[in-house]
Structure 1
Amino acid sequence: MKINKHLTIASLALLSTLFISSCEKDDDGQVSNNTGNATVKFNLTDAPASYDAVYIDVLEVKVHVSNSGDTSNADGWITLPNTRPGIYNLLDFQNGIDTLIASGDVPAGKVSQIRLILGPQNSVVVNGVSEPLKTPSAQQSGLKLKVNYTLQAGIVYEFWLDFDASRSIVAKGNGGYNLKPIIRVFTKNTTGSIDGYVSPIAAFSSVLAYNAAGDSAAALTNPVSGYFLISGLDPASYTVEFDPISPYMTTDTMGVNVATGIVTHLDTIRIN
């Protein structure tokens, strides 16, 4: 399977900040509520990868909330009570398919980090052969994902952890593989999406959206329908590049505008 050369571009743009503080006016002059609890939900989704399967062993999800006024939790880390531990195949969650892995109520305040704790049962299947993935740091303290988002009491916030399986798996020189996760965190409150279809389906194209600021995200077309969806894009004008398998030819679509909370639909892309 051919993967777009641009997939090595860093795709780590995180969440936009909402300046909200307890009993103070924000930039719009509105009084914000920063007392009580908010509800958070975390979904797992995946960017494309040229493997048969990529399994990750999810144990726990924590969030770091500050300025909450909760003196009983001095370090700010809160373990989400409704975590769904298990071994997930990342390649099952592409083109808008995701799965809820954790949720719970947390004190209102600023979320600065998310911690994803993995177990030892991580593996990659390459050409039908299963290989273990070494993840020492994840097993010990968890993968720390920096975000910058402020939670208001009484509101439900939903986040997506876009696990870039292709760039997260590193082949070792002496054989075997390491897992060095690259995860993009986004919420649909502050981002938009691009979707469409590629014809012919046999082109099995990788799809990359990138803007002038260097932000990028990718997808693979569905092998049955040719459909693709790229989510979590900051509002901007994007170039969308379609890179199919041989002998089909690469093609670009420029000036695709993405707006907050909107799915921008492209006409069917026909590849020669």
Structure 2
Amino acid sequence: MMKKILPLLLVIGIWSCSNNDPSENAARLRIKLTDAPSLTLKGLQIEIDSIEVSLYDTGDDWVALDYGGGTYNMLPLSNGNTQQISDQYFPADGIIQRIKLLFGDGNKLQTTEGDKELILAEENREVIIEGVNAALYSHVVCNIVIDINALISVTESNGNYYLTPVMRAFDEAFTGSLRGYVSPAMANATALIASEGDTLISLPEPDGKFMFLGLKEGPWKIFLVSPPDSGYVDTVFVDTVKMGKIRDIVPKPIVLKKRTEDAQK
């Protein structure tokens, strides 16, 4: 039986700008990586061989980015932390409609029991994200974020682990972020947010920090959930995301309450 594993998140940011460009009409693309942390894995290695973009809805007009490929440990890249992997100039005044990633074979989980190979089927090696619709204007920054959700991308079956990349893409200028802190550490809380059918998960860092990127504007429900045996009460509240802004959740930190003896019975 196939089952999901830990809620991990991979994000690739494509930045474009034309300030100080060597030509009059050019944009600059930068690629960054980020991830959501895991409390049980030592590492999650993801290999990306190539990245291409298309300025058209149909056809095979792909432009390869100046990217030589690489393998990345995603666990340190969490809750807003990023790693730049490409930086180049790109023609402005176009609209990126699609993004294509080609994954390599160097994908694995690093656990306390040793490395576990992530099996990648040939039909899942190339993944295309449709409907990106990110405009590249001169002297305007355009940040596209590709979100690879390992909660549903990494699965286990009969002791084997599989990678089936599932991704979304958004223009950061037209989305917002939520950032908060939760304590105490012994609560082992997981942060979940939801809005109109969209649900995202983050495992806070050791200092309690959690962060969600690429959120649509409006109210989001925030759930801080602890394991049943932790002795702490789950908490839910609502906060509002603003376009292009990072919303800091208050109080800082959010202190989870101990469950009463009656509530534990």
**What is the 5 A alignment of 1:19-30?**
none
User: Structure 2: which 5+ residue stretches go unaligned?
Assistant: 10-23, 259-265
Aligned to 2:203: 220
Aligned to 2:120: 135
Aligned to 1:38: 27
User: Which amino acid is the alignment partner of residue 182 of structure 2?
Assistant: V
Q: CA RMSD in A?
A: 2.7
Aligned to 1:168: 153
Alpha-carbon distance change, 163 to 47 in structure 1, aligned in 2, over 3 angstroms: farther
Cα distance in 1 for residues equivalent to 2:129 and 2:88: 18
Cα contact 2:32–2:82 (8 A) shared by 1: yes
Cα contact 1:161–1:184 (8 A) shared by 2: yes
2:235 aligns with one of 252, 262, 268: 252
Cα contact 1:45–1:161 (8 A) shared by 2: no
Aligned to 1:57: 47
Cα distance in 2 for residues equivalent to 1:252 and 1:264: 19
Q: Which runs of 4+ in 1 moved over 4 A?
A: none
CA offset digits 1:42-96 (Å, max 9, x no partner): 32222344533210112211111139xxxxxx83211111x25221011111111
User: Which amino acid is the alignment partner of residue 171 of structure 2?
Assistant: T
Alpha-carbon distance change, 247 to 200 in structure 1, aligned in 2, over 3 angstroms: same
- Secondary structure in 1 matching 2:174: coil
User: Which amino acid is the alignment partner of residue 253 of structure 1?
Assistant: V
Cα contact 2:31–2:87 (8 A) shared by 1: yes
Question: Within the alignment, does 1:158 sit opposite 2:143 as a pair?
Answer: yes
What is the Cα deviation at residue 182 of structure 1? 2.0
Residue identity over aligned pairs, in percent, reads 26
**What is the 5 A alignment of 1:186-265?**
186-211=170-195, 213-223=196-206, 225-245=207-227, 246-265=229-248
Alpha-carbon distance change, 137 to 143 in structure 1, aligned in 2, over 3 angstroms: farther
Cα distance in 1 for residues equivalent to 2:100 and 2:86: 12
Aligned to 2:16: none
Cα distance in 1 for residues equivalent to 2:123 and 2:31: 18
Cα distance in 1 for residues equivalent to 2:245 and 2:71: 32
Cα contact 2:134–2:171 (8 A) shared by 1: no
Alpha-carbon distance change, 87 to 210 in structure 1, aligned in 2, over 3 angstroms: same
Alpha-carbon distance change, 167 to 47 in structure 1, aligned in 2, over 3 angstroms: farther
What is the Cα deviation at residue 229 of structure 1? 1.2
Cα distance in 1 for residues equivalent to 2:37 and 2:148: 9
- Secondary structure in 1 matching 2:230: coil
- Secondary structure in 1 matching 2:210: strand
What is the Cα deviation at residue 250 of structure 1? 4.6
User: Structure 1: which 5+ residue stretches go unaligned?
Assistant: 12-34, 68-73
Alpha-carbon distance change, 206 to 177 in structure 1, aligned in 2, over 3 angstroms: same
TM-score normalised by length of structure 1: 0.75
Cα contact 1:41–1:159 (8 A) shared by 2: no
- Secondary structure in 2 matching 1:189: helix
Matched residues, number: 231
Cα distance in 1 for residues equivalent to 2:187 and 2:238: 23
